[in-house]
Amino acid sequence: MLKLNHDDGRALDMLLELRAAGKSPTDPQNGGRDLDVLPEHLKTRLLHVQRVMGLLDAMPAEDPSSDLVARTIQLLERQEQLQPAAAWPFALTTEPLADFRPQA
C-alpha cells in the first residue's frame, strides 16, 4: 500500500485542517498567515500538496433531479401511511406543509 512521506503527510493534514476551518493557505487574509510560522520546506510542500489536491476540483458532480426533494417527502408520507402513528416516537401534524413548498 502506498503511503505519504512524513512531510507530505504533515502538509496534507495542515491543508485539510485549513479547509475544514474555511481557510486557504493561499489567501493572505484567511489562512495564509497561518503559514508564516512554518519552515520553508514545509510551506513548499503544502503548496505542492494543494496543487495536487486541486486536481480533485475538476471532478464533476451532477446535480440531483429537480423533483428529488418532493419524491423524498412523498416517500416519507407513504411510509407513514404504511406504519401507524404509534410506531413513531412522536406524533406528526396532519396539517399541510404550510411553511414549505418543495422546489419544482
104 binds another protein (CB under 8 A): no
| Element at 75 (helix H, strand E) | helix 68-82
- Site track 43-62 with another protein (rule: CB under 8 A), x = hit: --x--xx-xxxxxx-xxxxx
Buried b (16+ CB within 10 A) or exposed e, 9-44: ebbbebbeebeeeebbbeeeeebeebbeebeeebbe
68 binds another protein (CB under 8 A): yes
In the list 38, 72, 81, 84, the residue contacting another protein (rule: CB under 8 A) is: 72
In the list 20, 82, 86, 104, the residue contacting another protein (rule: CB under 8 A) is: 20
